[in-house]
Amino acid sequence: MRVRRGLLPVRWAQAHFWLSVVVGLQVVAWIATGAFFALNPIDQGRSAHLLQDHTPAAIKWRSVAMTPEQAPGRSHLSVSERRLAVVAGRPLYLETSAEGPQGWVDAETGAAGAVIPEEWARRVALSTGAGEGGLAALELLEQASQEDGADRAVWAARFDAPGSPVVDIEAAIRGGHKGRP
């Protein structure tokens, strides 16, 4: 006597098999990537090993030609803070208002702006020491990369080095400690 199997149980068995294969592959990928990140230092994933340690630059007081009150200012808004800092080797007053960062005023020349010039971005990029290669390209992007997660303009410095590192340099200088570094 022959036992006859129905078509429906066979299809359920096949569907169950392929569903198990797909879910099993996802679990294996999840375990493999988890093991990779558990075994490698987080700084390597963030590319921190490519950047040099920086100490804050000393201000050359002889080059500061004006006080914060004498700086012409860039903003029509009421500036709540002017902080002196060194950016790309230049002493700058970083302006902040209640609405947030407003820009910079050069403490030597009085020149003002909202976005750092390409030459300054190039100096900052080269000072990072990102990789062994030289600077391949520098371009102004209206919005940072998706990985950065911020809605701001950046200078993207691309280096000739293993892994093709890219360093994002904020185009608008922030005067206060608000936002991401």
| DSSP SS3 for 72 | coil
Which of 13-27, 65-79, 101-115 shows the highest mean pLDDT?
13-27
- More confident: 24 or 159: 24
Determine the pLDDT at residue 7: 66
Determine the pLDDT at residue 142: 80
Cβ neighbour number for residue 175 with a 10 Å cutoff: 24
Nearest Cα to Cα of residue 131 among 166, 181, 155: 166
Place of tokens 């093991």: 35
Least confident range from 115-119, 137-141, 146-150, 172-176: namely 172-176
Determine the pLDDT at residue 2: 65
Cβ neighbour number for residue 96 with a 10 Å cutoff: 21
pTM: 0.56
pLDDT higher than 80, residue 134: yes
pLDDT higher than 70, residue 151: no
What the block records as the tokens of 163 is 């892994």
- More confident: 76 or 90: 90
Tell me: the pLDDT tens digits for 21-50?
Answer: 999 999 999 999 999 888 888 776 666 656
Determine the pLDDT at residue 23: 96
- More confident: 148 or 13: 13
Alpha-carbon distance 122 to 155, whole Å? Answer: 9
Determine the pLDDT at residue 64: 79
Residues 115-129, mean pLDDT to the nearest whole number: 83
Alpha-carbon distance 102 to 99, whole Å? Answer: 8
Q: What are phi and psi of 93, to 5 degrees?
A: -90, 120
Bridge partners of 26, per DSSP, are none
Determine the pLDDT at residue 178: 37
